[in-house]
């Protein structure tokens, strides 16, 4: 008699680049999750620190996808997402998870229960707390539309943290311990209803790192789904373990801001505001981004290319 294929509640993708010790802690926390049948894919982006070997040796039940080169966060996650979407049946929920996170044992079960209580939820994320005990502000955000981008670029959201207008980018005026509907949560822990992911398509690989989670959230919201911040679940996030102090990471952050603006807002932005946004991006992104802005961007993938 043929054995039936395992049925999973959740598919998990972890894109890793040279964060072996953090990845070990993350996978160890996944191994003790209660009440959830999950399959996890680690996509290793050509790490040189033995990450892939560690996964093979210590976590044999984790699916390992090894890429010879580092082609970016979106590219790596898409390799895992395609595997999840090809499962029969596919899990009802999909999780993008960073290797520098550590989950309490009931985190996944609680997040899935939240989805079941919110049938209109397409995306949800937990409260992410950094090692210093402070909230990771990226875990609940508004989209960087032209107005929000100006406030963020010129630090007004940091100066006026309680302003409902000036601080909308990181929503610092909200109570961090209350559920909130938001524009986006962060890709460090972004749980997605798989049906919504199928409708919106995969991550846009025009983004190398940063911005692809905002882009996916916007596409999912445009299909009628809602996005929630759920602080009933708290996850530790050792933020920027793979990119701390990296000039490339700083450049990619502002390049992502430029891509997002060009993709969604540039055509509908008035000329004086466009000039102000360009100035802000140039000041924060530096000469390399200025050169990129002069060259323009390659066309974004069409819907078929990100499925």
* DSSP codes joined into one string, 82-130: HHHHTSSSPPSEEEEE-TTEE--TTHHHHHHHHHHH-TTEEEEEEEEEE
Confidence (pLDDT) at 249: 86
Q: What is the DSSP letter of 220?
A: H
Bridge-based pairing state of the strands 180-181 and 226-237: antiparallel
Q: What is the pLDDT of residue 210?
A: 92
What pLDDT score was predicted for residue 149?
83
> 42 by DSSP, 3-state: which?
strand
Q: Which pLDDT score is estimated for 1?
A: 46
User: What pLDDT score does 282 carry?
Assistant: 86
pTM flag (> 0.75): yes
Question: What is the reported pLDDT for 241?
Answer: 58
Which spans in the chain are helix H?
20-31, 51-58, 73-85, 107-117, 146-153, 156-159, 194-200, 212-221, 247-264, 271-295
Report the pLDDT value the prediction gives residue 167, as an integer from 0 to 100.
Answer: 96
C-alpha separations of 258 from 32, 190, 274 in Å: 40, 22, 11
- 46: Cβ–Cβ under 8 A, 6 or more apart, which residues? 17, 67, 68, 69, 70
Q: For the chain, which domains are there?
A: 10-240 (3.90.550.10), 248-296 (no CATH)
Question: Residue 4: its pLDDT value, please?
Answer: 63
In order along its 307 residues, the chain shows pLDDT tens digits of: 445 678 999 999 999 999 999 999 999 999 999 999 999 999 999 999 999 999 999 999 999 999 988 899 999 999 999 999 999 999 999 999 999 999 999 999 999 999 999 999 999 999 999 999 999 999 999 999 988 988 988 899 999 999 999 999 999 999 999 999 999 999 999 999 999 999 999 999 999 989 999 999 999 999 999 999 999 999 999 987 555 557 888 889 999 999 999 899 988 888 888 888 888 888 888 888 888 888 876 655 544 444 4
Tell me what pLDDT residue 298 has: 62
* Residue 301, pLDDT score: 52
């Amino acid at each position: 008699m043929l054995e039936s294929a395992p049925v999973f509640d959740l598919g998990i993708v972890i894109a890793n680049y040279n964060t072996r010790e953090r990845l070990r802690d993350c996978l160890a926390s996944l191994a003790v999750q209660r009440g959830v049948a999950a399959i996890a894919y680690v996509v290793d982006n050509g790490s040189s620190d033995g990450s892939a070997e560690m996964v093979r040796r210590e976590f044999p039940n984790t699916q390992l996808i090894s890429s010879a080169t580092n082609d970016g966060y979106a590219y790596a996650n898409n390799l895992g997402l395609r595997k999840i979407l090809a499962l029969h049946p596919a899990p009802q929920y999909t999780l993008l998870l960073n290797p520098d996170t550590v989950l309490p044992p009931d985190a996944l079960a609680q997040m899935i229960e939240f989805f079941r209580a919110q049938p209109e939820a397409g995306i949800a994320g937990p409260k992410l707390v950094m090692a210093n005990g402070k909230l990771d502000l990226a875990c609940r955000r508004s989209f960087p539309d032209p107005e929000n981008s100006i406030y963020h670029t010129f630090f007004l959201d940091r100066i006026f943290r309680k302003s409902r207008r000036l601080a909308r980018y990181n929503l610092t005026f909200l109570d961090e311990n209350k559920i909130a509907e938001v524009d986006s949560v962060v890709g460090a822990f972004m749980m997605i209803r798989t049906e919504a992911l199928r409708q919106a398509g995969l991550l846009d690989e025009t983004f190398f790192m940063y911005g692809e989670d905002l882009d996916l959230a916007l596409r999912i919201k445009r299909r009628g789904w809602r996005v929630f911040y759920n602080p009933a679940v708290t996850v530790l996030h050792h933020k920027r373990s793979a990119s701390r102090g990296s000039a490339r990471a700083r450049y990619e952050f502002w390049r992502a801001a430029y891509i997002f603006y060009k993709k969604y807002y540039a055509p509908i932005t008035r000329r004086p505001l466009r000039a102000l946004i360009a100035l802000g991006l140039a000041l924060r992104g530096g000469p390399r981004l200025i050169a990129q802005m002069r060259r323009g961007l390659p066309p974004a993938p069409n819907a078929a290319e990100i499925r």
